[in-house]
Amino acid sequence: MNKINFKSWAFRFMVWVIIINIIIAYLTATYVGFFYTEDNTGQVIFRLGLVATLLLVLSILFIILSIIKKENRNYQFWVATVGIFVFGGFPLVMAVFG
C-alpha cells in the first residue's frame, strides 16, 4: 500500500488556491456589471470562491494530518502553512476585528 504524503497534497491544494484567487482577482477587476447585461461573471466568481474555500479546508485537513503523522517539515509544509494563514486566518481576523 502506498504511503500518502500529506504535506505534498496540502501544498498542491494551496497552489490551486493561489491560482484560483488570482483568477478571481482578475475577474473582479475586469467585471463591469451593468444592470441589463447578460453575463455570468458573478456566478463564475462565486463558484470559484467555493472551490477555493473547499481546497483551503482540504489543505488545512492535510496539514493537520501531516503534523499528526510527524512528517518531515520542508518547503511544502511551510508554504501550505503560510498560505493557510494568509488565505484563511488573516481574512478571518479582519472580518472579526476590521
Using DSSP, state whether 72 is helix, strand or coil: coil
Residue 37, pLDDT above cutoff 80 = no
d(CA 14, CA 10): 6
Residue 19 has pLDDT above 50, yes or no: yes
Cell of 51: 472551490
Indicate the domain borders of the chain: 6-97
pTM of the model: 0.83
CA separation for the pair 24, 26 (Å, rounded): 5
Alpha-carbon dihedral sign for residues 42, 45, 48, 50: negative
48: confidence class by pLDDT, cuts 50, 70, 90: very high
Which helix (H) or strand (E) segment holds residue 34: the answer is: none
| pLDDT of res. 39 | 75
pLDDT bucket at 1, cuts 50 / 70 / 90? very low
Q: What is the mean pLDDT of residues 64-71?
A: 92
Res 96: pLDDT: 85
